[in-house]
Amino acid sequence: QLQLAESGGGSVRSGGSLRLSCAAIGRVDITYAMAWFRQAPGKEREFVAAISWKGGTIYYGDSVKGRFAISKDNAKNMWFLQMNNLKPDDSATYFCAADQQLMGPPFRPDDFGSWGRGTRVTVSS
């Protein structure tokens, strides 16, 4: 399992942008795919985006297509989620997750063995 840590969350007004980062902590000896999920209070964890190890395969959840972009820097063991045109419905805690390969679509939380603790995003109208 990888140790993951998210950063970059915060508060923004509707239409604004945020860039989330996820870093793998410590020595990383395996290749892995990663994803972003989000969870709002009282709701199930929702798939946001996923990217393969080499970055050639990318998926997005329907609610973020055209607004969010996932990317990665394997040399730095970091991944990113650029979020544009944010809406109040995007408010949630965002988690990065990783596993050796992508098992979807569809992508379920159980498909990923490593998780960060999350970073909070709040979008006001």
* pLDDT one-digit tens code per residue, 24-58: 887 677 788 999 999 999 999 999 999 998 888 99
Could you tell me the sign of the dihedral formed by the alpha carbons of 34, 38, 43, 47, in that order? negative
CA distance 124 to 28: 37
* Structure confidence at residue 80 (pLDDT): 97
Residues of the chain with pLDDT under 50: none
CA distance 40 to 91: 7
- Token pair 């990383």 is found at 28
* Structure confidence at residue 31 (pLDDT): 81
What is the CA angle 90-14-64, rounded to 5? Answer: 35
* Structure confidence at residue 30 (pLDDT): 76
* Structure confidence at residue 1 (pLDDT): 79
